[in-house]
Amino acid sequence: MSMIEGNGGIYSVTSNGEVDKPFKIFVGYDPREDLAYEVCRHSIFKRSSIPVEVSPIIQSNLRKNGLYWRERGHLESTEFSFSRFLTPHLANYEGWAMFVDCDFLYLADIKELRDLIDDKYAIMCVQHDYTPKETTKMDGAVQTVYPRKNWSSMVLYNCGHPKNKLLTPEVVNTQTGAFLHRFQWLEDDEIGSIPYVWNFLEGHNKVIESDATTFPKAIHYTRGGPWFDTWKHCEFADLWFKEMEEYMK
Ligand SMILES: [Mn+2]
């Protein structure tokens, strides 16, 4: 098997010359967090043993292409608060695709995550039971508390699942935050569960040294990461800076 690079992804070519379809990953992009996006992307590619295609979800591009037109609400802490739900549409309602916030740092092979996929579900995510202590996040944006908080920050979408056909651009642009972030187009048993280490919340989830199953596979700097001055001493900041230095080289 050989690897070729192109079109934003790394593809593998099998011995008979067929190209494996890469696993599609959409990363929420915010201009204030460009470096976070680059480091997140780097951390995925570096460890992946499968072909992956990483695409940023950039609100200004979606607006130009007529896929996004909703007005920005005062509770939206990032530019991808709602646009993330376009993931099945952006993947042409085919196969599985992942959405992830840009404030993640991957420490494990994305293949391990992809191998957890079960076609019986419409989506799969880490089902946090979580109430944040902070009332503000990142650079002062208001922190809101709601059921299923943080579930939508990393989601594996079964884009070809009939239920996800409901997530049209029209719905994404008009539905409430509650409807979208709580996955109200789905029944509870259509939502699969992924171990929390794949969306390990910095400042909330804890590592137990004697238990390797608690070691993060993807750190989520949900309060704000080291790329913000206020958070440069947060937990796992050293890992992020190390990754950033590697990306810069
Ligand atoms: Mn986040």
Q: Which of 36, 34, 90, 95 is nearest to 67 (CA)?
A: 90
Q: Where are the domains of the chain?
A: 2-248
Please tell me what DSSP assigns to residue 231.
G
Determine the average pLDDT of the residues in 122-140: 77
* 212-243 burial: b if 16+ Cβ within 10 Å, else e: eeeebbbbbbbbbbbbbeebeebbbbeebeeb
| Whole-prediction pTM | 0.88
Residues with CB under 5 Å of ion ligand 1 are 101, 103, 153, 222
138-147 residue pLDDT tens: 666 666 667 8
Question: What's domain 2-248's architecture?
Answer: Alpha-Beta Complex (3.90)
The token duo for 239 is 């890992």
> How does residue 196 score in pLDDT terms, banded at 50, 70 and 90?
very high
CA dihedral for 39, 219, 223, 195, sign (positive or negative) = positive
User: How far away, in angstroms, is 225 Cα from ligand 1 center?
Assistant: 9
**How many angstroms is it from 8 CA to the middle of ligand 1?**
23
